[in-house]
Amino acid sequence: MREYLQSLPKAELHLHLEGSIDAGTLAAINPALDPAEIEARYHYNTFLEFLQNFGWVARNLQTPEHYAIATRHLLRKLAAQNVRYVELTLAVGVLLWKKQDVAAVHQAVREAAAASDVEVWWIWDAVRQWGVEAAGAVAELAVKHRDDGVVAFGLGGDETSGPAREFADVFTTARRGGLHLVCHAGEWMGPDSVWQALEVGAERIGHGVRSIEDPALVRHLADQRIPLEACPVSNVRTGSIISIEEHPLRRLFDAGVPITLNTDDPPMFGTDLLNEYETAARVFGFSEQELAQVAANGFAFAFMRS
Ligand SMILES: [Zn+2]
């Protein structure tokens, strides 16, 4: 199976650059860091602790070159798994908060990506818990970089701190500016959060696992061909799903919801894309043919392929 999965051309649609940084990459970025401190940051008990650790890693990215190093390391790992296409999420909300030069960082990561065989596009995302105004600044800036490899605006962070509807104007700004829209929803909050993400125009749902609680929503996703960016290992590691066996991946797939498989923040969750596919086979009995369908979905629902 592993050989087969390795050979499948794959796409990643839900992958945070800052969450892709493993301990070795972080040590390369900042050699002054204490290895014990780095190690400790890859362990956490709650989602909020995870978000704090994510923030800590992001704060260590202080120059455009630091982001470029992270990009180069990540793309090498993706290429080794036969990932051919990726829409990488850059936490522009965090960059603005750190008062960094977003254009300079973006140029550095684009140059790093250009040297890779993997096709790379960018999703700029805002941090939900920092509110509408900060998210609006991300959307406006993203629109300005639309011809510069930025294909979508996204909303991430702590889903419990604000429903998508509050950000409706921000999503509208991004859409009118020619960007695609994605939104984390149905990870920590129930089906209503997913309905709201759809209402504000999200074309793909980040996670969306709790859609399973609402049969009408499941039907809607299936009928309208709205894909979920499923990241099963992430859901278990953050505690949004109690155990992998409880994950609704199979039920959603069988109900006809378009499923894509992704990693979210691979080293923080001890996963990679091959592991996500293997987990789908091992735990949920996905056949090679079904996994080929999931892999094909990754390209079918990619913004620059469809
Ligand atoms: Zn995510």
CATH of the domain at 168: 3.20.20.140
CB 61 within 8 A of CB 18: yes
Average pLDDT over residues 182-195: 97
Ligand 1 centroid to residue 152 C-alpha, Å: 14
CB 16 within 8 A of CB 156: yes
| pLDDT at 262 exceeding the cut of 90 | yes
Ligand 1 centroid to residue 187 C-alpha, Å: 9
Average pLDDT over residues 80-98: 97
Q: Which two three-digit tokens encode residue 279?
A: 């987990």
Ligand 1 centroid to residue 124 C-alpha, Å: 12
User: What does the chain come to in residues?
Assistant: 306
| pLDDT at 279 exceeding the cut of 90 | yes
Task: State CA 96 to chain mean position distance.
Answer: 19
Q: Give a yes or no: residue 306 inside a domain.
A: no
Residues 247, 252, 254, 255, CA torsion sign: positive
- What average pLDDT is seen over the chain? 96
Q: Give a yes or no: residue 71 inside a domain.
A: yes
| pLDDT at 193 exceeding the cut of 70 | yes
pLDDT at 306: 58
Q: Give a yes or no: residue 305 inside a domain.
A: no
**Which residues have beta carbons under 5 A from ligand 1 (an ion)?**
264
pLDDT at 47: 83
Ligand 1 centroid to residue 235 C-alpha, Å: 10
Q: Give a yes or no: residue 248 inside a domain.
A: yes
Residue-number span of the structural domain to which 234 is assigned: 2-300
Average pLDDT over residues 94-112: 97
Q: Which two three-digit tokens encode residue 87?
A: 């829409």
Ligand 1 centroid to residue 73 C-alpha, Å: 19
Q: Which two three-digit tokens encode residue 226?
A: 């709205």
Q: Which of 187, 229, 246, 278 is the catalytic position? A: 187
Residue bearing tokens 């596009």 = 121
Please state the domain count of the chain: 1
Average pLDDT over residues 38-48: 88
Q: Give a yes or no: residue 238 inside a domain.
A: yes
Q: Give a yes or no: residue 260 inside a domain.
A: yes
| pLDDT at 40 exceeding the cut of 70 | yes
187 is catalytic: yes
Q: Which two three-digit tokens encode residue 21?
A: 């940084």
Q: Which helix (H) or strand (E) holds 160?
A: none
